[in-house]
A and B are shown apart, each in its own frame.
Chain A
Amino acid sequence: MADQIRCPMCSRLNPADLDVCQYCQARLKPLIAGSTPPVPPPTPPSQPETPSQNADQPSEEAPDWLHSLRGKEETGASEWDNTAESSSGEEDIPDWLSRIREKSDSGPEETAPEPPASSPPAGNELPDWLTGATFEEPAQQSQPSAPSGDLPDWLRDIREPDERSAPGPAGPASGPEEQPGDLASGGEPGWLEQLRSQQMVSDSPSAPPPSAAFSPGGAGENQIPDWLQSSPPPQPPQPPTPAEGSTGSEQPSEDLPEWLSNLMGEPPSTSSEPSILPWAAAGEEPPAQTPDFTMTGAGQPMDWGGAAVFSIPEPGEGAGSGPAQMGQENISPSLETPGETPDWLSSFGEPSPGADQVEPDWLASLENPPAQSQASVPGEPGPAVEEPQYYASLQQTPPAESPEPTPDWLEALGSDQPAPPPASEPTPALLFEESLPTPPPGEPVEPFVMADLPDWLSALGPAESGQAKESGQPPAQPSTPKGTEPAEPAEEAIVPAELPSWVQAMRPIESVAASSAAPPPSQETDQRIERAGPLAGLKGILPAEPLVAEYRKPPTYSVKLQTSESQKRYAQLLDEMLANETEPLAHRAERLISSQRVLRLVVGILVVAAVLLGSFYPFMPIPSQPAVEMSNLYNAVEALPGSAPVLMVFDYEPALAGEMESAAAPVLDHLMEKGARLSLVTTSPTGQALADRLLGSVFTPEAPDYQQPYLDRQAVIDLGYLAGGPAGIYSFVINPGLGAPRWAADNSNLQDVHSLADYRQIFLLTDSLDTGRAWLEQLAAAGPSVPGLDEVPVMLVTSAQAAPLLRPYLDSRQADGLLNGLMGGAQYEQLLQRPGVANRRWDSFAGGLLAAIVLVVVGGLVNGTLSLFSRRKTKDEA
């Protein structure tokens, strides 16, 4: 840190050898004169010492402001921060001081003092003599601004005359806007008084020895320091405008240095006569805004880059040279052309090439202990004394951090300081609003100069706060009270985490779009203007109304499935594949005349022809060996006594009436031959009609097939239709009178029949398994309820399709006889030896059956062979 200097403007560190900040082109090593209290003449130092030497050896008697001049190399405080501390110790003679000495030796030359080479510029520190006891309230004009123990004797002496002298009218109250060095005390400092008095005495820069006011321990009254009474103030670059509260429009004294005259607002004069500040000359309060010493004669801020420059005599110049002496003789503001840095200012901070420079007594007295300073004769050139601490502090590297809180006026001074001028020309340390550098275009203008601002305050720049708002991050921490540690620097702000690509890919697009479209709540909160409550119109505050009351349309999330192009393509391909599976094959419309239609027609014709041929030409013999069950049936009917009651159930459909009539006719004929009394019942709606059809074909007297006497149709009792299916059958079996509506007890044919057990036989004529099963099962179930019903034989007359299904009942003895289809009827007729309907239909039936067999065999073989060749052809083609 010792090799670096902190810029008072931008608070950036610069090498120690620079005079101008490399960032903002501000003066790093300011030299401020005029606003400081008169310092005692430095004693010529015996040896040039480094500012660091004895810097940490505070003397009990060394004033604090002197210690502060030696400064804080380590902390790098700004020029305006080092006000309260003082450090004792020998320091190297600054160049400017050496130049002052040279001037004193060479003559009233306006030379800029060259700071010692070894000593770092202490431009960032405000020497105590600039910011010391003179910075007092107007109400305290009469009071010493600093404890008497902290001030050098010469300063104290100066003040005493100041106190004794009538203070001028109270100027504007000094505030934080006052710049350091501003003589806001309201009272005229003693050195200024001395200046005023001296100007009356001396007329040339090489004035008599400085006034005692500036000599250490001296009690010079109204003595203008030599360094103030040097060359006249430089010419101000801007047209003079009277400063606020400034009364510098008054004509300065001709005896004032030029630079001092410029401060008072008058055009610089070539006269090198020392001059005092206009307000000082007028005995008025200094302007509140800016110190007069920094103001030109026209009342404009002094442009240290090329305006008023006052040359400080080098230390050791002149006998008993003090500030006043130096100012009178050697120190004179050189009116340089605008843009040119005064020599004393430009060379400030540079090590003085000369090492054998004589330090003014007053300067030396400042460095030495009070004993030493007291020992020196005020006004007399003493040995090389140590440089005042304030000189050394001007050359030292300002500490990085000020351990003491920055006074308000100092901060305000920094806020009022404009940006340093461009880098084309060096700028003095003290800059006013007009001379402050302007920020680059595009960057936000900071209201405060970031010089020596606390970290927390520096971090919360306008640019940074704006960036935080844009990014949705919470703003930086609010400003903390002065002197407190910053909570968190700007660089440590939480950086939003970067989501990996795979996490970002998982985020729903809608939510990302919604979040990117809408500002984050924190940002909304920050930008939201409160419209209710006492804080209406403010931003960035907690809402007065609960957020629940604020309705906001919830974000809508799409339910659509987000798929990529490749996924869509694959899904479409799969859909096509599935659709092809479910699509039926294209069916070619059949032609009106096709092979299949022809074949079907041929088959029909052949079958019909065979049937007709058989009806005209019997060719098929009837099997002579009847089946056993059919023989049993024949035997049972043959064993019937005459006029035996027989129940016949007609439960077949008209579709199979031809086969059933062919099978039932011979049985009926045999029953008629036996003179049985027939009772007819049916569970089919068409049963009665079919029964009547059958009886009509048989009971026809004119029937040529039957030659037996037939019974009268009156002998056949039709019991009607049994409804309810199996339930009806069961009801009829249990109580025939209840089940059959036509059951009549007074029927002569059924007088001896009271239940089904009274029938001698039961014939079941059916063509389906259901009806046959129903009758057989209900007859078996009602057996226990109807005594003797188990003794009644049950005969089955069925079609060829139902016979295999009903044969199990025959095997289980639930049925006693079975006659199967047309062939069974034909065989029964052979047993009766009475050819009848069955015989006539047997040849047609056989012919048609043989034709079907031939067609099936031939056609099957042909088609099978054709299909084999077609598959082979398909395989060969494939």
Chain B
Amino acid sequence: MKPVATAIAIAFGLIVLLGYFLPLPPLPALRDTFVGWAVILAAIATLIGVINLLAVHTNKISLQQPGNGYSLILIAAFILTLILGLWEILTSPAAPLTRQVVNSIQFPVEASLMGVLAASLAFASIRLLRRRRSLFAILFFVATLVFLVAGSGLFGILNLPGADYLQTALDRLPVFGGRGLLLGVALGSLLTGLRVLVGADRPYGG
């Protein structure tokens, strides 16, 4: 069974890839069809992921493992949200309750976590030189201060000569690193796809 799955994966991948480069009549249509099937499978995979999440937390509750209380809250919230959303779909397309849940619970919680992260990063920066006193630690410390100052708009406020150029340079400086990241990500994605096409990597369990 494993060789069959590998063969199917390789075949479909090659057809889609060829459909991108060869505008031959059957290939683009097949490409679009296979991509549509992938979208459906991705949606189903998301749903399966949600179901697996429920199963894990349910098992955790049944085995009375440590932290099963949080699992109970999660399952309860899920069920409540599911019921509420299904009901609103049937009754009210606007789904005000669902939006209220998002606005009242999810948004504040995640925003608060982001605020705690910011404070923790500031605190870690304060203790950075005490824990590690190295060149890279000092460089990072200085870089942090510079970009905090640049992002705060002090250069524009001070109206220092060359502040604009300094601001532009500071804005452009991360781009260089970002470009490298993008290239690395692109190359990694390309190699991953090639590995799947040649059968070296079989994330589907083949």
Write the residues of chain A forming the contact surface with B, with a CB cutoff of 8 angstroms: 599-600, 603-604, 607, 620-625, 627, 653-658, 686, 689-690, 692-693, 723-725, 727-728, 730-731, 734-735, 738-739, 769, 773, 781, 784-785, 800, 804-808, 811, 823, 846, 848-850, 852-853, 855-861, 863-864, 866-868
Contact = CB atoms under 8 A, between A and B. Distances in A.
B174 interface: yes
Nearest to A727: B38
Interface string B159-170: 000001001100
Given A600-B123, A622-B153, A654-B107, A724 B145 contact: no
Contacts of B167: 623
A689 B103 contact: yes
Nearest to B130: A863
Given A603-B123, A860-B128, A731 B110 contact: no
Contacts of B43: 723-724
Nearest to B114: A655
Contacts of B98: 689
B111 A654 contact: yes
Contact of B148 (A603, A604, A735, A849): A849
Contacts of B133: 864, 867-868
Given A781-B20, A853-B148, A655 B164 contact: no
B42 A860 contact: no
B130 A620 contact: no
A692 B99 contact: yes
B32 A620 contact: no
A863 B126 contact: yes
B130 A867 contact: yes
A603 B130 contact: no
Interface string B7-31: 0000000000000100100001000
B119 A607 contact: yes
B172 to A, nearest CB: 8
A810 B155 CA distance: 24
B125 A860 contact: yes
B110 A604 contact: no
B130 A856 contact: no
B179 interface: yes
Given A806-B178, A867-B129, 7 more contacts: A656-B114, A689-B103, A734-B32, A769-B178, A781-B20, A808-B175, A856-B126
Contacts of B155: 623
A657 to B, nearest CB: 6
Contacts of B177: 804
Nearest to B32: A734
B149 interface: yes
B157 interface: yes
A858 B144 CA distance: 13
Given A607-B119, A693-B107, A863-B129, A849 B152 contact: yes
Contacts of B171: 627, 804
A743 to B, nearest CB: 14
Contact of A623 (B42, B156, B178, B181): B156
Contacts of A738: 36
B151 interface: yes
Interface in B99-120: 99, 102-103, 106-107, 110-111, 113-114, 118-119
B185 interface: yes
Contacts of A856: 122, 125-126, 141, 144-145, 148
Given A658-B111, A739-B39, A852-B148, A604 B130 contact: no
A852 B148 CA distance: 8
B35 interface: yes
Contact of A723 (B46, B99, B126, B154): B46
B176 to A, nearest CB: 9
Contacts of B113: 655
A859 B127 contact: yes
B145 A621 contact: no
Nearest to A864: B129
Contacts of B56: none
Interface core residue of B102, B122, B182 (most chain A CB under 10 Å): B122
B153 A804 contact: no
A856 B182 CA distance: 31
7 contacts: A654-B107, A692-B99, A693-B103, A724-B38, A852-B118, A861-B129, A867-B130
Contact of B35 (A623, A727, A855): A727
B123 to A, nearest CB: 5
A654 B149 contact: no
Contacts of B141: 856, 860
Nearest to A777: B186
Name the interface size band of chain B.
35 or more
A657 B107 contact: yes
A653 B110 contact: yes
Contacts of A734: 32, 35
A856 to B, nearest CB: 4
A655 B20 CA distance: 37
A-B interface, 3 closest residue pairs, ranked by CB to CB distance from nearest: A859-B126, A623-B156, A804-B174
B156 A654 contact: no
A856 B172 CA distance: 24
A625 B156 contact: yes
Nearest to B174: A804
Contact of B102 (A600, A624, A689): A689
A599 B157 contact: no
Contacts of B126: 599, 603, 855-856, 858-860, 863
B102 A654 contact: yes
A769 B174 CA distance: 14
Contacts of B40: 723-724
Nearest to A781: B20
Given A723-B46, A805-B181, A603 B122 contact: yes
A855 B43 CA distance: 47
Contacts of B149: 853
Nearest to B133: A867
Contacts of B28: 785
A807 B171 CA distance: 10
B122 A725 contact: no
A763 to B, nearest CB: 21
Given A600-B123, A805-B178, A852-B122, A723 B114 contact: no
A861 B125 CA distance: 11
B116 to A, nearest CB: 9
Contact of B182 (A724, A805, A849, A861): A805
Nearest to B120: A600
A800 B185 CA distance: 20
Nearest to B43: A723
Contacts of B130: 863-864, 866-867
Nearest to A623: B156
Given A623-B156, A807-B178, A852-B122, A654 B110 contact: yes
Contacts of A727: 35, 38-39, 42
B153 A620 contact: yes
B107 A731 contact: no
B182 A855 contact: no
Nearest to B172: A807
Interface core residue of B118, B144, B164, B182 (most chain A CB under 10 Å): B182
Contacts of B172: 807
A735 B181 contact: no
Contacts of B151: 800, 823, 849
Contact of A731 (B35, B41, B154): B35
Nearest to B106: A654
Contacts of A855: 122, 126
A864 B134 CA distance: 11
A649 to B, nearest CB: 16
Interface core residue of A623, A855, A858 (most chain B CB under 10 Å): A623
Contacts of B164: 625
A728 B42 contact: yes
A289 B165 CA distance: 145
B189 to A, nearest CB: 9
Given A800-B151, A846-B152, A849-B151, A686 B106 contact: yes
